[in-house]
Structure 1
Amino acid sequence: MQMDPEGFEALVTAELDRLPDDMVDGLENVVFVVEDRPEDGSLDLLGLYDGWALTERDRYGIGELPDRIIIYREPHLAACETADELRDEVHTTLVHEIAHFYGIDDERLHELGWA
């Protein structure tokens, strides 16, 4: 599948806007970033939560740089064949990474069907 960076970023923004308010209203000091690929250049990782989970914020200080939720464009495009499939995968990736912000680990996400 092909999509330019601007189109993909617009898709991520649209999917973020579709998430329930109670999921995103609690996000504090978090920025969403779109990058082409992970640092290792692989196509295996769709997204990454880079920061302190809410459950670990006792170590979190005032003036900290924002946590980041990174969505990788090229791995998503490689994994999807249609625009609908891409939209669904971006949605799932956003939910997955936001869950990490709330302290939900991969094992629990698998149980919930989000991993």
Structure 2
Amino acid sequence: MTNPLASLQAPSIADLEILAQEAFARLPREFRRLCDGVVIRVEDFPDDETLQEMGCESPFDLLGLFRGVGLAQAGAVMETGQFPNMVWLYRRPILDYWAEHEESLGDLVTHVLVHEIGHHFGLSDEDMEAIEAAAG
């Protein structure tokens, strides 16, 4: 009999995109409204420019990144030429972290997503913990 574990593969970019969309949909409505229309992208690693800008020593140092301006700061109208709010989740660093900790992959993706958005809006760690708990 073949071991069922022998055919397992690491979650793909598409798999993490699904986890991220599901996690975002479970977040409290008030929190999701902070970045209405947010685009969530999953890439294997941050690009070199981002690593340099963030002062990272390794491409594994950064699990995610938020770039944009939320409705709380910018009002309801997007200015011409303004990019949408974006959250990048970096698959390989997330998988590396996941392999070393006792946490489900879905919970880890939710945590990174909440913290990237929450830190951008100045939420406290306690606020973000409550949001994660509300997301289940």
TM-score (norm 1): 0.74
TM-score by length of 2: 0.64
Q: How many Å separate the matches in 1 of 2:62 and 2:41?
A: 14
Name the counterpart of 2:110. 91
Following superposition, the deviation at residue 113 of structure 1 comes to 6.6
Structure-2 residue corresponding to 1:62: 79
Deviations 1:54-92 (A, max 9, x none): 56538x961212121111111110111389521111111
CA distance in 2, matches of 1:113, 1:100: 9
- Aligned counterpart, 2:51: none
Kept in 2, the 8 Å contact 1:37–1:74? The answer is: yes
Match of 1:37 in 2: 45
Q: Any unmatched runs of 5+ in structure 2?
A: 1-8, 49-57, 130-136
Q: Secondary structure at the match of 2:36?
A: coil
Aligned residues: 109
CA distance in 2 between counterparts of 1:30 and 1:46 reads 18
Q: 1:5 Cα deviation (Å)?
A: 1.6
Matched-pair contact (CA < 8 Å) for 2:45–2:93: yes
Distance 1:10 1:53 in 2: 23
Decide which of 35, 47, 58 is 2:64's aligned counterpart.
Answer: 47
Q: Structure 1 residues 37 and 113 mapped into 2: Cα distance closer, same or farther (>3 Å)? A: same
Distance (whole Å) between structure 2 residues aligned to residue 54 and residue 72 of structure 1: 25
SS in structure 1 of the partner of residue 104 of structure 2: helix
Partner of residue 13, structure 1: 21
Amino acid at match of 1:12: A
Greater than 4 Å deviation, 4+ residue runs: 53-56, 111-114
The residue identity in structure 2 corresponding to 1:73 is R
Please say which of residues 77-86 and 34-43 is displaced more in the overlay: 77-86
Q: Where do 5+ consecutive residues of structure 1 fail to align?
A: none
The structure-2 alpha-carbon separation of the partners of 1:34 and 1:83, relative to structure 1 and needing over 3 Å to count, comes to: farther
Which residue type is aligned with residue 105 of structure 2? Answer: L
Give the residue type in structure 2 aligned to 1:43: F
How many angstroms apart in 1 are the aligned matches of 2:61 and 2:114?
18
